[in-house]
Chains A and B, each alone.
Chain A
C-alpha cells in the first residue's frame, strides 16, 4: 500500500472519529441536562406541589397557582391562535396556493417562527399592557398565541397539502362548493396533522418564558382573574432559580422537572402519532 492511500485512509478515519464524537457530544448534552433535571427535581417533588400556593422565602409551598395560571393561559392562547392559524394554513394550501400573497406569507411566517420571543413580549406589552395600565393574564395569553400562530400555520399548511388531489377532484365532480370540500373532506383527511401541529405548538409555548415576563408577569397568590397579573410556571422558574433562597431553588427544580417531562412527553407522543399515520 503506498503512502497516498495510507494518508487518505488516515484522514478518513479521523473524520469518522470526529463525526462520531460530535454526535456523542450532542447526546451527552441531552443526557446531562435531562439527568440534572430529574436528579434535582425528583428530590423536590412532593404532593404539596399540586395542592399549595407558591410560598414566601423560607417556608414550604407548592406550585398550584402557577400550574393553574400556565394551563389557563395556554388554553386561551390555543383557543385564539389555532383557528386563525388553521385558517391561514388553509389559505396557503388551498385557495391561495400559488398567489403572491401566499408566497409572501409563507416567507414571513417562517421568519416569525424563529423570531426572538422576547420581542413578541415587548410588542404585547406595548399593545395590551401599557394601554390598559397593568399586567394581565390576557396579555400573557395573547403573547403565547403570537408565538403559537406561525407554528400552526406551518404545520396545518403542510398537513393539508398531504391530502391527495383526487379527493378534491372527486368532490368537485360531485358539485360540492369549495368551502364544504375544505371543511368536510380536507380537514377530516388532515385531522392527524392538524392535531399534531397544535400539540407541537403547545409543547413550544408551555416552556416560553421571555414573552410572559412583561405580560402576565407573576403572582405570588391564587388568582383566577385573567385581567390581573397571573402566576405561571416559566416565570416562577426564572424568579425562583435566580433567587438566593434554598426552598425557592428547590421548587424551581421541581417545576423544571414537571415542565420538561410534559414537553418531552408531548414531543415523543407527537412523533409516535405521526409514525403511526405514515405507516398506515
Chain B
C-alpha cells in the first residue's frame, strides 16, 4: 500500500469550492470582456457617427461630395475605393493562393513544403506599414514605368471596361493599392487553403488517382468541390482583411476625394480616409462623418468575417464527422 497523505475530510473542499467558483466566474468575466469589447466598439461608433447620419441621412452613402470647408460629406468615393481595391486584391490573391496551396500539397517535393510554406506565411508577419513604404517607394515607380503604360494603352481601348483603365501612369491609385492588398492577403488565403486541401480524406484522392486522374483533374474535380465551402471561407477571410487594411493602402492610394472610376487614378478608401483625416478633422460634423465611415467599415467587415467563419465551421463539422 502506498501511504497517501490524509485527506482533510473534516472540512471538505476547504477553499476548494469557493476558490473554484471564484476562478470560474473570474475567467468567465474575462471571456465576456471579448463580447463587451465588440459591442462597445459598435456602440461607440454608432454614437460617434450619429450626427453625420442625422444630418445627411442615406444621402451620406450615395453622395460623392467631400467638402470639409462647407461641411458637406458623402461617402461614395471611399466606398467605391474600398470595394474596387478589395476586388482587385481578390482577383490577384485567390488564384495565386489556390496555386500555392496546390503546389504545397501536390507538386512540391516533400522537403520543400515546410520551408516554402513558412516563407509564404512570413508574408503575413511583415507589418503593413512596411508594405506601404515598399509600395510607395519601390512598387509604385515600378508599376508606373513598366505596367501602367501598357495597361492604359491596351485595356484602356476596350469598349465597356475601358474607362476603368485610362489615365496617366503615375503608379499611385486604386490599382497599386489593390495589388499591394492582394499580396498582403495571399498568406491568409493560401494557408487556410493548404490546410483544407490537406484535410481531404486520402480515400477520395486515391480513388480519383486510381481512375487515372491527373493532378489538375484531382484538384478541379475532387479537391475543390470537396473543400468548396472552406475555400470560400478563406476567400471571405481575405476579403475581410483587405477591406479594413489601412496603412499599406494609405501610402499608395493617393487620397483623392474626386470620384473617378479609373483604377489608374488616385482614389480613397474608408480606412485611408480615416488615417489621413481624423486628426485634422476640426468640426464635430467632420469628425462624426469619419466615425460614420468607420461604423460602416466595421459592420461590413463583421458580416464578411462572420460568413467566413460560418463557412469554415461547416467544414470542421463535416470533417469531424467523417473522421470519427
Q: Is B one of A's binding partners? A: yes
**Which among A27, A179, A207 is the interface contact of B119 at CB below 8 angstroms?**
A27
27 A–B contacts from the bound complex (CB under 8 Å): A8-B217, A19-B107, A21-B99, A22-B95, A22-B98, A26-B120, A27-B119, A36-B137, A37-B134, A91-B31, A107-B306, A108-B34, A118-B244, A120-B41, A122-B278, A126-B48, A126-B291, A177-B13, A179-B20, A203-B125, A207-B128, A209-B246, A210-B246, A234-B129, A241-B137, A256-B130, A263-B125
Q: Looking at the assembled complex, report how far the CB atom of A131 sits from the nearest CB atom of chain B, in whole angstroms.
A: 11
Residues in A lying within 8 Å of B, measured CB to CB: 8-9, 11-12, 14-16, 18-23, 25-27, 29-30, 32-34, 36-37, 40, 84-85, 87-88, 90-92, 94-96, 101-102, 104-105, 107-112, 114-120, 122-123, 125-127, 146, 149-150, 153, 175, 177-180, 182, 203, 206-210, 213-214, 217, 234, 237-238, 241-242, 252-253, 256, 259-260, 263-264, 267-268, 271
Contact residues, B15-47 vs A (CB, 8 A): 15-17, 19-20, 22-24, 26-35, 37-38, 40-41, 44-45, 47
Assess the A122–B34 pair: CB atoms within 8 A: no
Q: Looking at the assembled complex, report how far the CB atom of B15 sits from the nearest CB atom of chain A, in whole angstroms.
A: 7
**Which of the segments B60-68, B146-154, B200-208, B297-305 contacts the partner chain?**
B297-305
**Which among A27, A36, A101, A238 is the interface contact of B134 at CB below 8 angstroms?**
A36
Q: Does B311 contact A (CB under 8 A)?
A: no
Q: Looking at the assembled complex, report how far the CB atom of A202 sits from the nearest CB atom of chain B, in whole angstroms.
A: 12
Assess the A117–B130 pair: CB atoms within 8 A: no
Q: Does B7 contact A (CB under 8 A)?
A: yes
Report Cα–Cα, A18/B96, bound state, in Å.
9
Chain A residue at minimal CB-CB distance from B220: A15
How many contacts A-B (CB < 8 Å)?
274
Q: Looking at the assembled complex, report how far the CB atom of A194 sits from the nearest CB atom of chain B, in whole angstroms.
A: 14
Report Cα–Cα, A260/B104, bound state, in Å.
26
Report Cα–Cα, A12/B108, bound state, in Å.
15
Residues in B lying within 8 Å of A, measured CB to CB: 7, 13, 15-17, 19-20, 22-24, 26-35, 37-38, 40-41, 44-45, 47-48, 95-100, 102-104, 107-108, 116, 118-120, 122-123, 125-134, 136-138, 183, 186-187, 190, 214-217, 219, 237, 240-241, 243-247, 250-251, 271, 274-275, 278-279, 291, 294, 297-298, 301-302, 305-306, 309
**Contact A214:B279 (CB < 8 A) given known A87-B30, A123-B45:** yes
Chain A residues with Cβ below 8 Å from B38 are 108, 111-112
**Which among B95, B107, B291 is the interface contact of A122 at CB below 8 angstroms?**
B291
Assess the B294–A118 pair: CB atoms within 8 A: yes
Closest 10 CB pairs of A and B: A207-B127, A116-B244, A22-B99, A177-B16, A87-B30, A179-B23, A91-B27, A12-B214, A15-B216, A88-B30
Assess the B122–A267 pair: CB atoms within 8 A: yes
Q: Looking at the assembled complex, report how far the CB atom of B282 sits from the nearest CB atom of chain A, in whole angstroms.
A: 14
Assess the A180–B19 pair: CB atoms within 8 A: yes
Chain A residues with Cβ below 8 Å from B120 are 23, 26-27, 30
Among B41, B251, B305, the one with the most A-chain Cβ atoms within 10 Å of its Cβ is: B41
Q: Looking at the assembled complex, report how far the CB atom of B183 sits from the nearest CB atom of chain A, in whole angstroms.
A: 5
Among A40, A112, A153, the one with the most B-chain Cβ atoms within 10 Å of its Cβ is: A112
Q: Looking at the assembled complex, report how far the CB atom of A176 sits from the nearest CB atom of chain B, in whole angstroms.
A: 8
Report Cα–Cα, A122/B295, bound state, in Å.
10
Q: Looking at the assembled complex, report how far the CB atom of B22 sits from the nearest CB atom of chain A, in whole angstroms.
A: 7
Report Cα–Cα, A19/B97, bound state, in Å.
9
Assess the B28–A101 pair: CB atoms within 8 A: yes
Report Cα–Cα, A273/B34, bound state, in Å.
28
Assess the A95–B28 pair: CB atoms within 8 A: yes
**Which among A33, A96, A102, A179 is the interface contact of B126 at CB below 8 angstroms?**
A33
Assess the B132–A18 pair: CB atoms within 8 A: no
Additional pairs, 16, CB under 8 Å, beyond known A180-B19, A214-B278: A19-B99, A19-B102, A23-B120, A26-B183, A26-B186, A29-B183, A30-B122, A94-B27, A114-B301, A177-B20, A178-B24, A179-B19, A207-B126, A210-B275, A259-B127, A264-B125
**Contact A177:B17 (CB < 8 A) given known A91-B27, A109-B34, A149-B34:** yes
**Contact A111:B309 (CB < 8 A) given known A33-B134, A116-B271, A209-B246:** yes
Chain A residues with Cβ below 8 Å from B103 are 19-20, 22-23
Chain B residues with Cβ below 8 Å from A252 are 133
Assess the A19–B100 pair: CB atoms within 8 A: yes
Report Cα–Cα, A102/B122, bound state, in Å.
31
Q: Looking at the assembled complex, report how far the CB atom of A175 sits from the nearest CB atom of chain B, in whole angstroms.
A: 6
Q: Looking at the assembled complex, report how far the CB atom of A45 sits from the nearest CB atom of chain B, in whole angstroms.
A: 16
Assess the A119–B298 pair: CB atoms within 8 A: yes
Chain B residues with Cβ below 8 Å from A208 are 127
Assess the A178–B99 pair: CB atoms within 8 A: no
Assess the B274–A122 pair: CB atoms within 8 A: yes
Among B23, B215, B241, the one with the most A-chain Cβ atoms within 10 Å of its Cβ is: B23
Chain A residues with Cβ below 8 Å from B119 are 26-27, 30
